[in-house]
Structure 1
Amino acid sequence: MTSTERTVGMADTFKDCDTKSMEDIDEEMESLSIKPSEDESELIVDGFMVSGTFTDVASNQCRTPVIPSFEESSDTLVEGPDSRAISPVGHSLTATKLKVSSSNLIQAVVLSLWDNIVGPRILHVWKGEACNETVETFKYLSIYTLNGEICRDLTCGGIDTKFYVMSRRKLCVLALIFGAKGKCGPSVHCLSVVMSSNDLQKYVTWQRTLHAWLKRRIAVLRVLMEKDEYDKGIHFLNASINKTMRMLQSLQLDGLPSCIKLEDTYFYNEDSSKDFLLRKSITSHLMTCGRSVVTGTVDSEINKMVSTLALFNTSAERQCSRFCSHERNWPYHHDLCVQGWLPPSYNLRSVLDKIPLGEMQCAEYPTSIIDVKTHEVRQTLPVNEHHTRRHDFLSQEVTHPYSKHDVKYPEKNILDNLQYPENLVHRFMKELFAIPVGLRLSFIQLFIRTIERKALVLIKSAEVDSDQGRSAPKTNPRKLRQDLGLQLEGDFRIVLAMAEKLKPGIYTYLLGDSLNHELARNISLYSV
């Protein structure tokens, strides 16, 4: 087509437009629901605003649209069982008050999700007594924690943990990101734990215990949401958060100090009537990786044993331990290192019946149970068997909503009497009471370092013997024990428990798993 032909075509087009009358144009605009506003430069097409002024076709009135403002919204917290979710520009928010002390570490907990249409949505808020944060703060937190999780793989079953410090708002936020089924399909969820920035050091001390508790609860919550039992999931989470905050409150009120005085332990004055109990308690405490529950009838005797055993734990582990209190009868909490437990009504049979074996099975390490009244010392299964039973029990707890059967709790036969012969603790106590009182704390630290050195030698020997964990061990464990001077079973298990804390997985790697031999053969030293 030549330039002359293009010019003629354009002229014909303009000619056709000129032949249309204004009446024809008005009829076409009415058919498209297009009406000019008072400002002729702005149009409304089928009810959608093209520019700043909205013109109602029916009433022929011009008005400016009201866009919700994040800063100017007057949202309020609505307390009650209603669990309606809102977007960050909503006007109501359901909150539940937490029944805890105002001095608790956690000020509020926010459950939110990412909606592909409206963005972050708040599902529920739990507020403590000391929480003075507004709704705008909770909305800001939901946006802040979920904005970077849009492309998250929802098929992944993991729970990511992130921590934010908001210096301007003087807040610290622990965010647990996970995928779960919402009311509109699978979406990214976030459980945000709001704390004051002044309590940052407390969180750093208790973070491992807090993470273990929250991740266990989230696993059950995801199953309930998968079954569309949203209200039941909120009720379950409400009870779980209150238990978690009660556990933190017990650490605040009756927690152990980081440094323990020798006067508060059995090592200050020698008591021959307590020597046998003390030896068995220390041996079992070291064999269970420093996890013990002390029970009895007198809280002063229980707390004295708690202080004695805590000397063999690190400073961080002591801050995750607590005394018992006659006024505040704290329940058992798994993953606390050393804790005193005062049963409501004491007799030997009732104590064994009231021991929370299910909760003990959820702990990271085995647990020693020490009765200062009857001088009886028991412990749960060794580390290699404990891990397998722990996995089975947690799996039953998660799949319980899908099953018609109740969760099968562990039997009492998992509690074994301490029967392993040992010489490390016996020689340690004999030498300890032979030196002056002022040197005993240093001697205890030297004893712990000796066990750590033996554990490091055990780890290095296993690495060299197995080609850095790439093959099965070539040397018989008995030969390894003879080389390290650990012929007695109790001495070997004490050192092996310390090695497990330094190198998780080595306990099962060397001894195998009597409950699942196939699993033990597939465990590598570097697979953990």
Structure 2
Amino acid sequence: MLSGCPPQSPAVAKTEVPVEGESPLLAATFAYWDNILGPRVRHIWAPKSEQPLLLSDGEGVIIVSLIFDGELKGDKNTCALSMILPQAELSFYLPLHTVCVERLKHIIRKGRIWMQKGYSIISVLTSEIIPIMELLSSMKTHSVPEDIDIKDTVLNDDDIGDSCHEDFLHKAISSHLQTCGCSMVVGSNPDKVNKIVRTLCLFLTPAERKCSRLCRAESSFRYDTGLFVQGLLKDSTGSFVLPFRQVLYSPYPTTHIDVDVNTVKQMPPCHEHTYNQRRYMRSELTALWKAASEEDIGPDTNIHTDETFTPNLNVFQDVMHKDTLVKSFLDEGVWSAGGWQAMVFLLKPGLALRSTFLAQFLLLLHRRALTLLKYIEDETQKGKKPFRSLRSLKTDLDLTVEGDLNIVMALAEKLKAGLHSFVFGKPFYTSVQERDVLMSF
């Protein structure tokens, strides 16, 4: 070797990931800083294709990088986990950015522990990078469109009994709103599942619809953490295995809807969900640190915490609280400046009247959520004092019905993260205890 030549670059390991359909992700890379060679790529994950794209071709790309410190070969190094996408995929990727980054951030937490123990971080990163590649590929073909035609939903039907029982629809929409617009729809018939998915997505913003996914008719997608609404197919035996860890790591609680048996169940409210999530996350990282070898804990292993907190694998509960808001939307109608508006199913389909009626309902909910936030800000001097007047809030804002309070609180939570924890205080209450406390006001 000539003295003027730089040292040879170490070989870069590569994992080819088979994905169905088109992959919007060009590659994911794990890199580190070498004090001699500078930034070096340690591992590459790329979708398997017949004609791999060369990143050196001058194509404009988007690079999403997470920078972190970690032990590598006995020394502390600055590391980077990056995803590379074509610039043309920017509008597709942006709505999913938070979903991907939050998942990568936690896998990095696990990976740093693995590096500290002297194990390879590659296997840990692979356990999340491959599912993210599969998620992006599935969203490319099965994401819910930004604009939904009401004729493709249950709200277009003249006779609600032809699609689903009216009480089931009421409970599904109500619970969907109570869990911040996050729902999974499970069933055996893909057309029926997707019709309910589109119906629930009517109650989301256009950006949230881009983070929702229809089910695939051929075979079921896996449950993906972070999506707002997703359709999932049961297997040939009529069952669907729901991963506890992935459900618990969702940013919001989730509603579970089974269209085969018309059941609706929901996770505990936001503050309890966040409490369980963080405690489980700490326990998972602690267990990972205590593991004697790489084989002791797999990527999907359920971690059981200490004796004071044992996670309930059946995290979904019956919908306990009735509401009047959704009931009025479906059953009774409202009075507006234009006169009395009948229930949504009495309005003629195909004339945009039902879409207008729905838009007015969503605007009403949004205004009530803003009013609730303003009320709490005034009562607490913008958070300087603790909130102590839940009974007055319920009375003053006409939210004495618990289901109505839950719906408006959930919408307000999305506008102001942490609202539930602030209102209900730092002490943790289980769902039953919380209901007892609310009943005492």
Is TM-score (shorter-chain normalized) higher than 0.5? yes
Contact 2:21 2:137 in 1 (8 A): no
For 1:127-526, list aligned pairs within 5 A.
Answer: 127-128=46-47, 129=49, 131-133=52-54, 169-230=59-120, 233-269=121-157, 270-272=159-161, 274-347=165-238, 350-351=239-240, 354-404=241-291, 407-408=303-304, 410-430=311-331, 431-437=343-349, 438-474=352-388, 476-512=389-425, 515=428
Following TM superposition, by how much is the alpha carbon of 1:379 offset from its aligned partner in structure 2, in angstroms?
A: 0.5
Q: Deviations over 1:153-195 (max 9, x none)?
A: xxxxxxxxxxxxxxx5411111111111111411110012111
Contact 2:59 2:86 in 1 (8 A): no
Aligned partners of 2:387, 2:122: CA distance in 1, in Å? 49
Residue 5 of structure 2, aligned match among 67, 76, 80: 67
Q: Deviations over 1:318-353 (max 9, x none)?
A: 111111123131010111110111121455xx55xx
Question: Any gaps of 5 or more consecutive residues in structure 1?
Answer: 1-62, 69-86, 138-167, 518-528
Aligned partners of 1:413, 1:326: CA distance in 2, in Å? 27
- Cα gap change, 1:276 to 1:346, in 2 (>3 Å): farther
Question: Any gaps of 5 or more consecutive residues in structure 2?
Answer: 292-296, 305-309, 332-342, 431-441
Aligned partners of 2:22, 2:190: CA distance in 1, in Å? 25
SS class of match (1:482): helix
Q: Give the aligned residue type for 1:432.
A: V
Q: Which residue of 1 aligns with 2:23?
A: 104
RCO higher in structure (CA 8 A, sep ≥6): 2
- Cα gap change, 1:209 to 1:64, in 2 (>3 Å): closer
- Cα gap change, 1:481 to 1:459, in 2 (>3 Å): same
Following TM superposition, by how much is the alpha carbon of 1:64 offset from its aligned partner in structure 2, in angstroms?
A: 7.0
Following TM superposition, by how much is the alpha carbon of 1:516 offset from its aligned partner in structure 2, in angstroms?
A: 6.4
Aligned partners of 2:394, 2:314: CA distance in 1, in Å? 29
Percent identical among aligned pairs is: 31
Count how many residue pairs are aligned between Structure 1 and Structure 2: 398
Aligned partners of 1:262, 1:243: CA distance in 2, in Å? 32
Following TM superposition, by how much is the alpha carbon of 1:65 offset from its aligned partner in structure 2, in angstroms?
A: 3.6
Aligned partners of 1:223, 1:97: CA distance in 2, in Å? 26
Runs of 4+ in structure 1 off by over 6 angstroms are none
SS class of match (2:355): helix
The two structures have a TM-score, normalised by structure 2, of: 0.85
Alignment RMSD (CA, Å): 2.2
Contact 2:226 2:251 in 1 (8 A): yes
Aligned partners of 1:345, 1:380: CA distance in 2, in Å? 27
Q: Which residue of 2 aligns with 1:23?
A: none
Contact 2:28 2:83 in 1 (8 A): yes
Q: Give the aligned residue type for 1:389.
A: N
- Cα gap change, 1:278 to 1:383, in 2 (>3 Å): same
Contact 1:99 1:242 in 2 (8 A): no
Q: Which residue of 2 aligns with 1:520?
A: none
SS class of match (1:433): helix
